[in-house]
Every structure is written in C-alpha cells, then in structure tokens.
A and B are shown apart, each in its own frame.
Chain A
C-alpha cells in the first residue's frame, strides 16, 4: 500500500517536472525568437500605416486600416523599378561570373590540394572591404568606367568569388572520389570527369554557393555607396538615400526597406542548413 502511494507520488512529481520543463522551454523559445520577430513585424507595421499613425505617440501597433500607399508611393514617386533592375543586374552578373570561375577553382583546390589558394581566400575574408574599394575606385576612374554597372559588378566579384570558391571547396572535398576516379580509369580526362560527373553531383552545392553569393552581393552597401552613380544605384543605396532626404517619412522608408530585404529572406529558406559553411569563410564583409 505504501509503495503504491510512493509510486503515485513519484509519478506525480515526474509529471510536474516534465510540465515545468515544457513551460520553461516554451518561455525560452518566446524570449529567444521575439526580438527578431518584433523588429520584422514593426517594419511591416510601419510600412502598412499612414503617416499620422506612424509618428503617433504612444505608437500604433496594428495598422488600422492597413494601407499599401507607402509601397505605391515608392514605386511611383521614386525610381525603384530602376534601382531594382540595377540590383538584379549587378548581383546576378557578379554571381554568374563567380560561378563560372569559382566552381572549377573550388574543384581544383579540393582535388589538387592547393591549400595556398585556400589560404589566400581566408586572408581575403579578413581584409576590410575598403582595402579593395580604394584601389578599385581609382582603377575604374583610370579606365573611365566609374559609376557604371560594369564597375559595380566587377567590385562585387570581391564578395562573390571567395564565397563560391569556399563553399565549393567544402562540397568537393566531401564528395566521394570513387565515381570520378573510375571515370579517369575509363579514359575520361580530368576536365570530362569534372563537368560530366563532379558538376552534376555537386548541383546542390552550386545552388547553395549561388544563393549565398547572391545574398552577399544584394545586401552590400559599402561598394555601392562609393561606386554607384545617380542612375546606377542599387537598392540598399536607394533606401539609404530615402531616409536621409525624408527625415520623418517613416512609412515609405519602411516599405522600401522591406522591399530590399524580402528577396534575401525568401532565398534564405533554401539555404538554412548551409549558411554556416558560407558565412564562416566565404565572402568579404565590411
């Protein structure tokens, strides 16, 4: 009899403990996620409210009624179509070129054990972005292409190539070498075994490298702020200018900020698992 109550008791305390730890986890999750969630929701809220509500104090949290005026305004009154086009061209071209030269390079480094080049990319990673910008700025002036989309694209290669090469090295190193080796035995030359076997097998890796390089280039502000001309502004520069010229016009600024950042957030969904590989070593920041 006594032992039965004991087990009941201990079962009860076990359940209580379990419930408490579930509650603790629940609160921890809320604490951890809410800062990120709050900022993005506030951004959305600002972009959907009219100007009166946006500068009201105490702040209005829920847009009532929500309005798309801010979005219409930025696309109608400013040249956001052009800036979006600029961003797509620069980031797209810089990513494409980086893939063309970076995928084979990653393969060469992984298979040929060229650690020197790998090391060089690590050093490129820790170098401040302005170290590239000052010489490139003068180089572009020398060739008379400063302020052009071409110059911007070339400068963005500093961001995209190390990213692609680094992600590809780790993918090719992880790949089982049997297939390519048997292809070599069967009489393929290394080039054939690369593009007929390694590249198709590394397709997921190439997709990750492309997305991470694209995001890196899309988000870049520093290079554009120095190199872009009036007509060649990329989206981050356009959004920044919107803020400086319209001090308290928060709705359009928030709408523009959301427009810039939405593509990167959507692309992130596809690369969640591989972000660490890309951001630890690839890509120059700051």
Chain B
C-alpha cells in the first residue's frame, strides 16, 4: 500500500510531504500575523525604551538591567512561585483522590462527574466574582461556615498574609478537575493483571495503590504537574478580579506586574523585557519538569 502510494505520487508529480504544506499554508499565514509577529515585536521592544505616545529609542539590555535591580519586580518572582507551588501541589493530591473516587462505579456517576468538572469550564471572571462575594469578611458565606465549625473569621484577600493562599484556593478549586481527568484517563488505561496477582498474593488496598497504581499513573501525574505549573504561573483572571494584586502589592504576581507595566503605565519596552524574562522562567520550569519526567521513566 505504502509502496503503491509512493509510486502513484511520483507519477502524479508531487511528493507526499510537499503537498501537505498547502494544507498548512492558510494557518501559517494567520499564525505569522498573530503569533510569530508578536514574538518578534516583543523581543525587539525589550531592547528599546518606548512609552506609548513617545519616540522609541534603542537601549540594548538596559531594560533587563533595570529589571534586575527593581525590587518591586524581583519581589513578584517568589510570590508567583509560592502561588504556583500551592496551585500545583494541592490539585495533584486532591485530583488523585478524586480520580480514585470517580474510577469506582456508583449511581449518578456521569452527572456528578459533570458537576465536578464544571469549575474548569466556567468563565473565570464569573467564578472570581462569586468568590469575591463569598470572601467578604463581614457578610461572606465562607466566614459564616467557618464560625459554624468554630474557626475564627478570616480576612481572606483583605490581609497580606492570607491573600496568596486564598487566591490559590480559588485556583485549586477551579483546576483540580483537570488533574482528576488526566489521572482518570491514566487509571482507565491500567492493565488488570497486576491487580489480579496482587489479590491472590493477599496485598492490601493501600499496598496495591502504593506499588501498582501509583507507579503506573506517575507519568500521567507528571503531565498534570507540568500543565498546572505552566498555567498557574500565568494565572491572571482570578487574581486581577479578586485582589487586583493587592492589598498593596501583596498578591502582585509576575503576570499582574506585567499587565500594569503594559496597560496602566504603557511602558512597552519595560513590559516586553518582563515578557521575555517571564517566558524564560516558564520555559525553564517546563523543561526541568519534562526532564524529571524523563528521569522517572528511565528509572522504571
């Protein structure tokens, strides 16, 4: 068949590979305009001093030097990593548990799974607004629920100490379902033989999970970790709507800082340099995680 194809395409005078370029051509044109052009523009602008409405001036690496000494920018990095850590670690634990639950059979499973994954498909702004109302220190329903179980009222996003965990709480609420779905896909693909022989050998539930399930779904978990890391680093809607980076700059992540530089102060050059640094951070973390994933595979 393959040979016939090759012969035939030779006869018709087009190579199999070459012809498919035409299928991609329209997409390539659009991608050049809306994706590649912005990349190049950003790289170039990161080397210029340009405030919208002013003349732009080539300044080399000055923007990057300014960033390296800007304490406001530098403080956004550990803050972003803290937020990201919470938004990756907790969903992995909770998502693993939820996947184990949804892997069982029980009545109304389809409907309940649908409800469970609704948060990640819902409009983030809508979710953020509802949480804003729930976090209200005096009238919010969450503080009421806390007092019911004897926990003192919290300030949630109104205190610099709790704002990042609170925002991460919303992020976790919204994105744990994605981890659950990825792990659930992993669980569905597991072979049944190891479990059968483990049952015969009298292994406990926990042992089966620890020595069979967990190693087998580790690659899926790593995919979830990588995705969650990338998206949590870039999280914007929830933070912008709920706290606007406040109180003060207590929840100003890299992305929030970037937004302010670009669209509140219109410092295009400075903001472009932030984009470049931000991209490098995301890329570096993704590569480290991909590498960790490769190592995990290697060890098995």
Alpha-carbon separation in the docked complex, A116 to B260 (Å): 34
| Most B CB within 10 A of own CB, among A109, A127, A155, A267 | A127
Stretch from B62-70, B71-79, B279-287 contacting the other chain: B279-287
- Which residues of B have CB within 8 Å of A46? 130, 133
Contact of A139 among B1, B14, B37 (CB under 8 A): B37
Interface presence of A258 (CB below 8 A)? yes
Interface pair A181/B1, CB less than 8 Å apart? yes
Q: Which of B250-300 contact A (CB under 8 A)?
A: 255, 258-259, 262-263, 268, 271-272, 275, 278-279, 282-283, 286
| Interface mask (A72-94 → B, CB under 8 Å = 1, otherwise 0) | 00000000000000000000000
Interface presence of B117 (CB below 8 A)? yes
Residue of B nearest to A56 (CB): B139
- Which residues of A have CB within 8 Å of B126? 43, 236, 239, 256-258, 260-261
Contact of A226 among B38, B101, B144, B263 (CB under 8 A): B263
Interface pair B125/A134, CB less than 8 Å apart? no
Interface pair A260/B130, CB less than 8 Å apart? no
Interface presence of A218 (CB below 8 A)? yes
Known: A32-B98, A37-B115, A218-B123. A134 touches B236 (CB 8 A): no
Interface presence of B206 (CB below 8 A)? no
Interface pair B118/A130, CB less than 8 Å apart? no
Closest 9 CB pairs between A and B? A286-B234, A112-B20, A108-B23, A105-B27, A257-B126, A135-B41, A135-B38, A108-B20, A108-B24
Given contacts A126-B286, A190-B23, A219-B121, 4 further A-B contacts (CB under 8 A): A57-B144, A112-B17, A190-B14, A261-B127
A interface residues (Cβ-Cβ under 8 A, vs B):
25-26, 28-29, 32-33, 35-37, 39-40, 42-43, 46, 55-59, 97, 100-102, 104-105, 107-109, 111-114, 117, 120, 124-139, 154-155, 157-158, 161-162, 165, 178, 181, 184-185, 189-191, 194, 215, 218-219, 221-222, 225-226, 235-237, 239-240, 243, 250, 253-254, 256-258, 260-261, 264-265, 267-269, 272, 275-276, 279-280, 285-286
B interface residues (Cβ-Cβ under 8 A, vs A):
1, 4-5, 8-9, 12, 14, 16-17, 19-24, 26-31, 33-35, 37-39, 41-42, 45, 52, 97-98, 101-102, 104, 106, 112-127, 129-134, 138-139, 141, 144, 173, 177-178, 181-182, 185, 223, 227, 230-231, 233-237, 240-241, 255, 258-259, 262-263, 268, 271-272, 275, 278-279, 282-283, 286
